A and B are shown apart, each in its own frame.
Chain A
């Protein structure tokens, strides 16, 4: 690929003749590409007045130890080029540009750009707004955690799906059937899976208290290990460590549909009274939920994958939507420090709603500056 590119460049560089119509692009500027790892220079130019008959622009580069040579090509109409081919950090480069016609005729060279050097940066300035917002959000979380420590009461609305967990586990106990808990099909590094593990603990505790059984099939080995530890800890905390069965929290399959087939088989054979699908789900969501529905189990599903929510709403008894999945741990534990972070989320949402309303109003009146506060380009 690289050799093809070089060949193409040589072909263009050797084209004879002079382009009669069309001048070289003007005002050639070369700057170190911002917010990058270095080894890159960004060129910008102004198009010539007469652009008829121009196929593109040849970019030439010379350095302290490099003679002027063809370094790149930009098609007609472009006014920017990022040179990353063989650019070294801390080396001074100067550029010139010229137009080329489809027949290979070329214009004279533009004025050379000022000497420029590439450097690696230590901070992505285009993400300053994200950093500021994260710091403000972190401040809000810490403020509400401190407020909770001081005893401030925080109101939490009811989440029917989470309220139903108790009933669902109780039903399984009464029927003498197990509870099936599927923690999604994403690895442990995903927040949805972490949230699923956070909910697994109180669920496993209830299962242990009721002397029932919990089955947790897994698609990722690391998730399986965390699930085993979480359930074991839950059983130990209520003094039922002897009831804990490691074999019930097992590795099923690594592929998405093999996993779905395995869980479906499990539901049909074991007929769990309660199915809990909590975590990140994709195309298998409806396969699991519909099979569970057919077996007559009470089903509670929760995911942060928005496209899967309609399937869970249609096929499950209760659905925990989006952020409710993350809030579940706080809701179930009722720990004031965890509950307080939900208050911070509400403030964050309020800030976004205000920004949206303000931004919409200002842009209607032609004041676009507010958009730049929220872009990372």
Chain B
């Protein structure tokens, strides 16, 4: 029973979602928009309580055990509480918006902007001509990079067209090949779960 019930639920819901995709009738639409979406919101809300418990317990434990970098945990707890209190106290007013706009958004932007440096260091490693494939990658990437900026057009008029061809023919062909595999793999995984062939996600082999 411990195994059978989840399998029955997985099959029932999976099959219903599959059928729903092919039925445009309002009954089918309501099933997805009202029942499925609302269930998801309710489950998510309850799960969030567990997540908050995990968040606080994890960081409190770190602080109490004085683990390396424990004060980061203190900052995390203080920030979470401060944002929550500011949100409730001001009813998400201008002060809360300022916190978001002048503290949270710049922090996010900082993380995102780090990508520029990481791309440079990753590219440096990837573009070392160690073998034939790496050399091909280096040559192609150099052509694409030069062709994407005005100097490429200045050096050779045909450069932008060559870059466009690289991007839309060999590059696109490779990407589509991977995507077709991903599509088939996703359908196969979904079917294996629906049919109960794949059970690792719920603890069984």
B-binding residues in A (CB < 8 A): 35-38, 120-124, 127, 130-131, 134, 137-138, 141-142, 145, 189, 191-192, 194-195, 197-198, 201-202, 218, 221-222, 224-226, 229-230, 233, 247, 250-252, 255, 257-258, 260-261, 265, 269, 283, 286-287, 289-290, 293, 304, 306, 309-311, 313-315, 321-323, 325-327, 329, 333, 335, 337-338, 341-342, 344-345, 348-349, 352
28 interchain pairs, CB-CB under 8 A: A35-B24, A37-B26, A120-B25, A134-B18, A137-B191, A138-B191, A141-B195, A191-B190, A194-B193, A198-B198, A202-B200, A218-B51, A222-B44, A225-B47, A226-B201, A257-B108, A260-B111, A265-B72, A313-B126, A314-B126, A315-B122, A325-B185, A333-B200, A335-B205, A342-B188, A348-B184, A348-B188, A349-B181
B residues less than 8 Å from A286 (CB atoms): 115, 118-119, 122
B residues less than 8 Å from A327 (CB atoms): 185
Chain B minimum-CB-distance residue to A284: B111
Central interface residue in A35, A226, A229, A315, by most chain B CB within 10 Å: A315
Instruction: Pick the residue among A120, A225, A290, A313 that contacts B121 (CB under 8 A).
Output: A290
Residue-wise, chain B 105-130 has the 8 Å CB interface mask toward A (1 for contact) of: 00110011011001101110110000
Central interface residue in A283, A287, A322, by most chain B CB within 10 Å: A322
Chain B: minimal CB distance from A208 (Å)? 14
CA–CA, A315 and B48, complex, Å: 33
Please name the 6 residue pairs, one residue from A and one from B, whose CB atoms are nearest each other, closest first: A221-B51, A323-B185, A326-B185, A221-B47, A233-B203, A323-B181
B58 adjacent to chain A (CB < 8 Å): yes
Chain A minimum-CB-distance residue to B180: A352
CA–CA, A267 and B51, complex, Å: 21
Q: A198-B201, A286-B119, A326-B186 are in contact. List 18 more A-B contacts (CB 8 A).
A: A38-B26, A137-B191, A145-B197, A189-B40, A218-B51, A221-B50, A258-B107, A258-B111, A283-B112, A287-B111, A310-B126, A311-B122, A326-B185, A327-B185, A341-B197, A342-B188, A345-B185, A349-B181
B192 adjacent to chain A (CB < 8 Å): yes
B90 adjacent to chain A (CB < 8 Å): no
Number of residue pairs A-B, CB distance < 8 angstroms: 186
CA–CA, A314 and B122, complex, Å: 6
* Contact B200 A201, beta carbon cutoff 8 Å: yes
Instruction: Pick the residue among B23, B26, B43, B119 that contacts A124 (CB under 8 A).
Output: B23
Instruction: Pick the residue among B184, B193, B197, B201 that contacts A349 (CB under 8 A).
Output: B184
* Contact A333 B182, beta carbon cutoff 8 Å: no
Instruction: Pick the residue among B21, B178, B189, B195 that contacts A322 (CB under 8 A).
Output: B178
- Whether A265 contacts B115 in the complex (CB less than 8 A), given A322-B182, A327-B185, comes out as no
* Contact A306 B192, beta carbon cutoff 8 Å: no
B residues less than 8 Å from A226 (CB atoms): 201
Query: At the interface, is chain B mostly helix, strand, loop or mixed?
Result: helix
CA–CA, A311 and B120, complex, Å: 11
- Whether A224 contacts B50 in the complex (CB less than 8 A), given A120-B26, A323-B184, comes out as yes
- Whether A122 contacts B23 in the complex (CB less than 8 A), given A222-B44, A286-B119, comes out as yes
Chain A minimum-CB-distance residue to B175: A306
B residues less than 8 Å from A293 (CB atoms): 122
A residues less than 8 Å from B18 (CB atoms): 134
Chain A: minimal CB distance from B57 (Å)? 7
* Contact A287 B118, beta carbon cutoff 8 Å: yes
Central interface residue in B58, B107, B111, by most chain A CB within 10 Å: B111
B179 adjacent to chain A (CB < 8 Å): yes
A residues less than 8 Å from B121 (CB atoms): 290
Chain A minimum-CB-distance residue to B52: A251
CA–CA, A142 and B126, complex, Å: 42
B residues less than 8 Å from A222 (CB atoms): 43-44, 47
Central interface residue in B68, B111, B200, by most chain A CB within 10 Å: B200
CA–CA, A229 and B203, complex, Å: 7
* Contact B22 A131, beta carbon cutoff 8 Å: yes
Instruction: Pick the residue among B69, B188, B193 that contacts A345 (CB under 8 A).
Output: B188
